[in-house]
Amino acid sequence: MNLKYPLLILFVFINIHGFYMLKPAMSILKLNLILLVPPLMIIILKNDSFKLFLLWIFFALFDKLGKISLQVLPDITPDRIILVVIVLIIMLDATFNREKRMLPITAAEVAMVMLFMLCIFSMILSDTLYSKEGFAVSSFLNGFGIPYIIFFISKNTVNNEQRLKKLFIFLAIIGFYLGITGIFQYYRISYLIYPKYLLTYQGYAGKAAVGAFKNSTVYGLVIGIIILITIYLLQESRKGAKLFYLTSVIVMLVGLLFAYQRASWLGFLLSSLMIPVFLPKARKAFFVSLLIVIIVIATQFTADQLKPQTFTGNDFKRAESVKDRFSGRLTSEGSVYGRLTLYGVVWRMFLEKPVFGFGLGTYFEKSPKYFEKVKGIPYSAYPGSNLHDTMSGILVELGLAGLGLYLLILFLIFKSSMQLYLRLPPGVFMGKGLVGIFWGVFIVFLINTQFFQARLFLFPNALFFLIAGTICGFSQRISQIDEKHEYLLGE
């Protein structure tokens, strides 16, 4: 499919807008450099939407490598340009190439469009669509808009076993990078960390792994998902590749521990129950990985005991040893008390506007007057504190309408995975184990998103809906084959 003219139109449109919005000449030059990357990659990759999809994952992971901010329009980044191009390829192929028809729209995608439109109307009515901070638009794009587009793309591009393997291998390589980077961050080996902007990360003053996200919670969620995918590859791979996957799992498990996030630990522990049930060949390797990690941590504990300690106790931010940091995260009660305060805020705001909420992106502006101290607890969250779970944020800003659609989407995705599980054979790469691992991914995503505002971050949402779209796409294809077979038998 020749994308020369659609790309030219897109290029000219953004440049005209940029000319009026950007004053410094260097900013216009930077804009053009960012815009030139996707077309060059498209030429190199020969309009292959799947390869471009892998390229999008890379740029989404390193989303701060290049960005230009424009008034009115969202920020221009390479990953967003590539996303537009992939959608163009799929739409044009579906229009002009009969062999590349898109899969029919499902109920899950209808619900996504409805939530998409609800967000748009919510921002318009609450006057947050054009706010200078851009918080509402960012929350919309990262939490709903782009992940749902990724669902659509993965459903229509990851359409066979070969592409599924390539996707999983690519994610396993990313997981290995994230694991290694997290360990380097934890031990402050700065000269081995890349890109260098990760050296300026915020958080626990360098005492927790944050990967490429500058956030340990996001890091724990992403790496928890990729560990499961890598274990799936470990079961189905040859001996040569198994060593890399086993090493990757060990490295990522260490990185997961060093994230020091209880939600990430809990999510992975519960999801790992899927491994002995659905991946019997990987049981031994998984338990060997866990044993090695336990030995590594035990060795670190022992080494800490031999060092003179400047601080002992359960204050995580002041703790120097691994032992004290683990103790601090496991016994800290401050975040629990803070959440109790925030749940009260959510409840009072919900009672005032239960159906459509206060509007997307309005929580920080509207919430301070709803804060009240909770009796019987020593600590309360202060006015302006961010909510610590995704669904509460949706309930406050989009009401029951938004939360209902969000939960409906998740339910329909799970239902589609159940239908796929019933149709797949056991013991092969594209078998029941694939769905079992997806259920593990589902568990990791659900548990983690109840402990932080996941809709503020693109990559964890996109990763989940990428895998969900793949599963739902395979479910549709197999269902179509079965229906055609039954029709032919009827004839």
Structure confidence by residue, pLDDT tens digits, 194-236 = 777 676 554 444 567 888 888 888 999 999 999 999 999 988 7
Supply the pTM of this predicted model: 0.84
Report the distance separating Cα 152 and Cα 90, nearest Å: 10
DSSP 197: G
Band the pLDDT of 355: cuts 50, 70, 90: very high
CA dihedral 353, 358, 360, 362 (to 10 degrees): -150
CA distance 8 to 42: 13
Share of the chain above pLDDT 90, in %: 33
pLDDT band at 17 (very low <50, low <70, confident <90, very high): very low
Cβ 217 vs Cβ 450: under 8 Å = no
Locus of tokens 């106790």: 313
Closest residue by Cα to residue 257 from 307, 296, 215, 305: 296
pLDDT at 203: 43
pLDDT at residue 118 greater than cutoff 90: yes
The residue-averaged pLDDT of 418-438 equals 86
Question: Residue 68 in 3-state DSSP?
Answer: strand
Please say whether the beta carbons of 227 and 253 come within 8 A.
yes
Per-range mean pLDDT, top range of 272-281, 308-317, 344-353, 463-472: 463-472
In a 3-state reduction of DSSP, which class is residue 22?
A: coil
Distances (CA, A) of 478 to 87, 218, 352: 24, 34, 46
284 vs 233: CA distance, rounded Å: 14
> CA 34, CA 114: separation in Å to the nearest integer?
32
Joined together, the tokens standing for residue 283 give 């049981």
Q: Concatenated DSSP letters for 311-336? A: --SS-TTT--SHHHHHHHHHH--HHH
| Nearest of 48, 26, 52, 57 to residue 38 by alpha carbon | 52
**Which residue, 111, 57, 102, is CA-closest to 414?**
111
Residue 146 has pLDDT above 70, yes or no: yes
Identify which of 31-40, 130-139, 211-220, 304-313 has the greatest average pLDDT: 211-220
Please tell me the distance from the alpha carbon of residue 46 to that of residue 342, in angstroms, as a whole number.
51
How far apart are the C-alpha atoms of 393 and 67, rounded to whole Å? 27
Has residue 252 got a pLDDT over 90?
A: yes
Say if CB 238 and CB 281 are below 8 A apart: no
Higher-confidence position of 158 and 311:
158
Q: Is the dihedral of CA 351, 357, 359, 363 positive or negative?
A: positive
Which of 131-135, 283-287, 378-382 has the lowest average pLDDT? Answer: 378-382
Three-state DSSP at 374 gives: coil
Residues paired with 68 in a beta bridge: 76
Beta bridge partners of 371: none
Can you tell me which residue has the tokens 């797949």? 424
Q: Within 13 Å and on the Cβ side, how many CA atoms surround 223?
A: 37
